[in-house]
Structure 1
Amino acid sequence: MSGDPRPGLGCVGAPRLLAGLDQAPRLDRLGHLTAHGPLPRYRPDELVALASDIDLRGRGGAGFPFVRKLRAVTQSARGRDGQTAVVVNGSEGEPSCLKDTALLLHAPHLVLDGALLAAAAIAAEDVVVAVTRADVEQSVRDAVAERGPGGRQVRVVRLPERFVTGEGTALTAGLNGGPALPSGKKVRTSERGLGGVPTLLSNTETYAQLAVAARLGEAEYRSTGLPTEPGTVLLTVAGSTVVETPTGAALPYVLELCGTRPGQGVLVGGYHGRWLSPGAARAADVSRQSLASFGAVLGAGAVLPLPEDTCPAGEVARVTRWMAKESAGQCGPCVRGLPALADVLEDAVRGGGAGALEAVEARMKGVRGRGACSHPDGTSHFVASALTAFPDEFRDHALGSGCGRRVLGALPLPQDEVPERLVVDWTLCKGHGLCVDILPDVVRLDADGYPAQASMPVPGRLRPKALRAVRRCPALALRIQE
């Protein structure tokens, strides 16, 4: 993604993964050891028992038990000369999720600790961290250098930044020197992954959680969070703030901490996720069980509230078009089906008539279950969930009346190279000054207390704050100009 947004950080309660980051923006090796202490040694059976006892789940989307991956790789390695590998999936091709980016930029040694613990448990000599951003790549390379020579060496590989890069077979293919695209086949990396050997592949947060648990032990790790889902979890809220929270925390409280509310609804799990109604969002907790009761999953931890003053139908159509462009280009449902779905959805939003929504349903049915990877299904489910969450909005748009609201871009997408601008309408501005309180890095006031400029560039990472400034201006004197 161009613009490479850097997330803000926050915590509910005492931090674990983000410990020490109140003292320094990035923990080098010394800062890491000061914040977390030395890493204990674990025998392979002890690490397997720890992962099982704390019920460590993958934090990249599927929530697969980590201990089953450990055992599967060990089992596959028997009879194959015992060769294994460890891969850290640090690719976040979705603009709504920045938690792995936050860890690798600010606490890379915690991730390396977890990866090296796992490598020791399965006797893996090859440890690779896969990334897609230049700044993240440099941070991890610096961390590897800070550890000095000796022990298992860690390689850092940068892959293309796209939505499908993080899919297991796509990531493996890219690391093996091919195109980073899904294979379309059900290939378990635990059987054949990096270099063709059994590979333990999991995402950045999973390895960081393992490193924290190794230091705390089972009992202390379980002292935070729910008994059935112990520990903490990282959430990316509104595409801009990464929050560490114990499982079981009230979702509305986490949103309030980030300066937002459920609004018209909350998209949970990112652009392959599901929408929660405002009522469901106010009743939900941060846990797999709670979200499942509302038909949602936490996925990679993206939480996207939709503000009251933006058009839901237009926001969904905008994301659907981007998702269509992120096609792997390998099968009909992606190459033709997703662009066609985006076409008919945009037609419905523009007032395509009574049959427009039926056309959307037909296009969704045409891509489901037919793709070479999960991208067509995920995009279809995103649209279907939106149609269920905002039925009146889509109906009114299709029939031509619409909602009268602009599309503010509240659902984050990659920023263009030319930044958007915050524009002041001088005929309305009363000099209240709330804009500078919210956006001190963008807005400057003149001697009379008014914005010093009528048009100010907004970096991509500050877009959510710019939207907040627009919404909170008492005189309605601000707008974002694309």
Structure 2
Amino acid sequence: MNTPLPDVPEVRVVGLPQLTAGFDLVQRLDLGMHLKVHGALEPMVGERLADLAEAVSLSGRGGAGFPFAKKLRAVAKSAIRRGVRPVVVVNGSEGEPACRKDTVLMCRAPHLILDGALLAAEALGARLLAIAVTRDSTEASLREALSERGLSDRRGRGLRVRVVRTPERMVSGEASAVISAVNGGPSLPAGRKVRASDSGVGGAPTLLSNAETFAQLAIATRLGAQRYGNTGLMDEPGTVMLTVSGSVARPTVLEVPVGVPLRYVMELCGAPPLPQAVLSGGYHGAWIDGLTAQGAIISKKAMATAGGALGAGAILPIGPETCPLGESLRVANWLAAETAGQCGPCKLGLPAAAAGLSEVLGGGGPTSLEALRQVTQAVRGRGACKHPDGSVRFLQSTLKAFTDDLAAHVLGGGCGRPTQGVLPLPAPGYEEEGIPSGEKLAVDWTLCKGHGLCAGVVPELIRMGPDGYPTLADAAVPMHLRANAQRAVRRCPELALRLEAAPAEQAPASRKALPRGQS
């Protein structure tokens, strides 16, 4: 099925709107309507701004959840120590197929994001504000908003503002990948642990946070800590933006007060009364079983207690009519294809993990399940960026959440349900090096003699089994491994290996390649 989410899905609000105020009046708040709805914003000195962010417990809304006040103070301290002007970066690189909340804000309330970013830039004395985006819609909206304010990247101005386009890839939203793009390089993680607050854009201390975080800062500045805290929970005040998709009647972006029951959020979007499970936090998140989800509430602590994660605010229930392991395999294959190809755990480990899950679903037995567990353990904590860890978190959560289905596939003939493709993935349309090629490797077992040359050429896709014969994933070959796969086919002395078209549901999830680091 796989219907990708639209750029701007339906938007709903529970309680009084804050970030989404004015959405009932117009499709997009231009500067005039923005000021009518929200009012003017007074500047605030750095320490007062940090105190406010601390008082409202403002943390990053992009998934990591790092306290914003700590970031702000760290950047200010580093800038003062080094005697350089810092840089502010809005991370709008929403490359995950299940997330649209930042896209909605950038398309419909761009000035609210700019308010927060300009507030931080003025408090820090920054001379450059960069905004990273992944889509035509968000780029057009933000460029129009900057034009309405008279802001540009021209030299000689007090504050230069630059819009940077990044590819719509999972790894493009990683902090160091965004900084690389702003610097004019590829949108790839740096592969080394360097704090942006010490050295970011152009080597300067850099304050980087996602679009919703800056919008929340603008709301908190207008309301003040006390009024902001009247909504939500004592330890997690305010509202949160969610993207709800999966087995729902209509994919929706919602603004809800922290503390709203998860069950109510799903009911608003037409989810099944009792879903099998709910994927929380997106494709780097974790599954919450259906019964536990009925009693969970929307908050970082509560979601973690329930075994899930709030993360980037993606909520994806799945109904009883689809195979949860088949759904997870589709996501695992996509995550493997999203590798930056810069480290072994990502380049080799994630395809091996996806292949292992495919073998389990194909009736590989307890041996294949144990091999999958070993692969995920080997990948964890060893990647150059957060993508391998996030992907392994998803896979390990899948194995833990669906034990009955796992047993049916491992010990029997499967669960008997089709994979309906309810978890959204990108639409066909482009080919990029991390994207499946539309082909898969196949073996003619009547010819194979177990020489093992193929496993040496393309170990990402083929490994030798305990019986001395190759085992390989029933999954599409990623574009960046296609040449190696062709080489493995040519090197097979028995002519037993071939490339063939992948099944339709494994056809390339391709998208139009976007220029990296282009402003």
Match for residue 401 of structure 2?
389
**Structure 2 counterpart of 1:212, from 204, 219, 241:** 219
- Cα deviation, 1:81-113, whole Å, max 9, x if unaligned, reads 231010000001110111111100110000000
CA distance in 2, matches of 1:206, 1:358: 41
CA distance in 1, matches of 2:280, 2:395: 13
Residue 325 of structure 1: CA displacement? 0.2
- Cα deviation, 1:322-348, whole Å, max 9, x if unaligned, reads 000000100111111111111111111
- Cα deviation, 1:405-455, whole Å, max 9, x if unaligned, reads 11111111101249xxxxxxxxxxxxxxxxxxxxxxxxxxxxxxxxxxxxx
TM-score, L = length of structure 1? 0.84
3-state SS of 2:366 partner: coil
CA distance in 2, matches of 1:17, 1:11: 10
Residue 176 of structure 1: CA displacement? 0.7
CA distance in 2, matches of 1:322, 1:114: 34
Contact 1:3 1:417 in 2 (8 A): no
Aligned length: 421
Establish whether residue 193 from structure 1 lines up as the match of residue 190 from structure 2. Answer: no
Establish whether residue 349 from structure 1 lines up as the match of residue 361 from structure 2. Answer: yes
Residue 2 of structure 1: CA displacement? 8.4
Residue 233 of structure 1: CA displacement? 0.3
Contact 1:350 1:400 in 2 (8 A): no
Which residue identity lines up with residue 68 of structure 1 in the other structure? K
CA distance in 1, matches of 2:417, 2:393: 25
CA distance in 2, matches of 1:42, 1:332: 46
3-state SS of 1:200 partner: strand
User: More displaced, 92-101 or 254-263?
Assistant: 254-263
Residue 4 of structure 1: CA displacement? 5.5
1:58-457 correspondence to structure 2 within 5 Å: 58-148=60-150, 152-238=159-245, 240-261=251-272, 262-417=274-429
Contact 1:238 1:305 in 2 (8 A): yes
- Coordinate RMSD, CA, aligned: 1.9
Which residue identity lines up with residue 324 of structure 2 in the other structure? P
Structure 1 gap ranges (5+): 419-479
CA distance in 2, matches of 1:396, 1:314: 13
TM-score, L = length of structure 2? 0.78
Work out the percentage of aligned pairs sharing the same amino acid: 53
Contact 1:85 1:198 in 2 (8 A): yes
CA distance in 2, matches of 1:287, 1:68: 21
Which residue identity lines up with residue 257 of structure 1 in the other structure? L
CA distance in 1, matches of 2:43, 2:185: 36
CA distance in 2, matches of 1:406, 1:243: 30
CA distance in 2, matches of 1:153, 1:110: 18
User: More displaced, 86-95 or 292-301?
Assistant: 292-301
3-state SS of 1:276 partner: strand
Residue 268 of structure 1: CA displacement? 0.6
CA distance in 2, matches of 1:51, 1:300: 19
3-state SS of 2:82 partner: coil
Match for residue 23 of structure 1?
25
Which residue identity lines up with residue 324 of structure 1 in the other structure? A
3-state SS of 1:79 partner: helix
Which residue identity lines up with residue 217 of structure 1 in the other structure? G
CA distance in 1, matches of 2:429, 2:7: 12
Which residue identity lines up with residue 248 of structure 1 in the other structure? G
Moved over 4 A (4+): 1-4
